[in-house]
Amino acid sequence: MTTVRANIYAVADRAGVSIATVSRVQRGIGPVSAETRERVLRAIEELRYTPSGSGRALANQRAGAMGIVFPDLSGPYYSEVILGVEEEMVAAGQSLFILGTHGRDRCAELVLDLMSRVDGLIIMGRTVSDEVVRALEGGRVPLALLARPPVDGIPSVRAESLRPAIELTEHLLAHGHERLAFIGDPASSSDAEERWRGFAQALGDRAGEPFSAAFGEAEGRLAATRALATGATALLCASDELALGAYRAARARRLRIPEDIAITGWDDIQLARFVSPALTTVRQPMRELGVATARLLFERIAGAEPAATVLASDVVIRASCGCEPLSDEEEESHQ
């Protein structure tokens, strides 16, 4: 008869805690109460749990640090995600090395160098190709993917984009708009690609081509200027920063928002509710993305095999699409 070795999930279930808590107890770091630590240790003893090689590697860390590979370090979206990752790293007593790849050559080499100095690595978006991710998997440190689909079983954490993009496009159509334009670059990230696919799915043959733009206000202004020149009456922007650039483009042409042009964004950054008119957008859980990815990485290091996670995103209807402005009470309910 073959004896099935207990895993970290069984220990967590026996102790009535999360996998991350079991991992913290194993490593002897992080905020765990004495009572919880005792329950976990008792469950480990009762189940005769032995961590896998990855778990033992974490318990005997050589670096005491984790790494994250980001496409860019500017803008409210990236800063919120990094804060979420850092929050978990601080709780676990880990340092965090950040590598921004924007404008850099030989990114794969830079990532390999970072891997030599950390005990786990988070890779965000399309900073490196799937081929590079496959080559890195199975190396000396575990990987976790952020804001991109899983690659050959390597788990990821991302926010949903397809359904909200369809919902937002249909909302603009319900306002009577027939000439809609998408502002953003589907080739730049998996998130932007899904938002474009949702837009195109809702419009069918009327979708046209996206007005490509990197995630930034200046890029949004230029792309929106091109879209407005074609007679577009509604713009679905792939980020709030792009939408703010579209506001500038509309005002440069003396167009009223939303009477002459409806504009929507994505992310629900803090400024979205304070611009005039307040921006209709999609709230994705930016900080939670970072927290969940850090926890997923800790689980992989501890020897678990966590599943990919897709966090919910919600359409937030404000005035820039043509609806009535939200009251303060309604705004607070969205927070």
Please write the tens of the pLDDT for every residue from 111-143.
888 888 899 999 999 888 898 898 888 777 899
Nearest-angstrom CA–CA distance, 335 and 331: 7
Please report the domains of the chain, with CATH numbers, ordered by start residue.
8-50 (1.10.260.40), 63-158+286-304 (3.40.50.2300), 162-283+315-334 (3.40.50.2300)
Q: Look at residue 114 and give its three-state secondary structure.
A: helix
- Asked whether the beta carbons of 158 and 147 are under 8 A apart, the reply is yes
- Asked whether the beta carbons of 150 and 303 are under 8 A apart, the reply is no
Please write the tens of the pLDDT for every residue from 227-270.
999 999 999 999 999 999 999 999 999 999 999 999 999 999 99
What pLDDT shows up at residue 5? 58
184's CB contacts (< 8 A; 6+ apart) are 192, 195, 196, 210, 211, 212, 213, 215, 223, 237, 238, 239, 242
- Asked whether the beta carbons of 120 and 89 are under 8 A apart, the reply is no
Nearest-angstrom CA–CA distance, 302 and 7: 10
Q: Residue 332 — very low, low, confident or very high, per pLDDT cuts 50/70/90?
A: low
Q: Residue 53 — very low, low, confident or very high, per pLDDT cuts 50/70/90?
A: very low
Please write the tens of the pLDDT for every residue from 2-22.
345 577 778 888 999 876 677
Nearest-angstrom CA–CA distance, 227 and 190: 23
Q: At what angle do helices 286-301 and 76-91 cross, to 10 degrees?
A: 40
Please write the tens of the pLDDT for every residue from 155-179.
999 999 999 999 999 999 999 999 9
Candidate from 23-27, 102-106, 274-278, 285-289 with smallest mean pLDDT: 23-27
Type of residue found at 23: S
DSSP-H helix ranges across the chain: 8-15, 19-27, 34-47, 53-59, 76-91, 107-115, 130-136, 162-174, 190-203, 217-229, 240-252, 286-301, 328-334
Which residue is associated with the tokens 């790849």?
Answer: 101
Q: Residue 62 — very low, low, confident or very high, per pLDDT cuts 50/70/90?
A: low
φ/ψ (deg, to 5) at 222: -65, -45
Nearest-angstrom CA–CA distance, 55 and 41: 15
Q: How far is residue 221 CA from its own chain's centroid? A: 24
Q: Residue 75 — very low, low, confident or very high, per pLDDT cuts 50/70/90?
A: confident
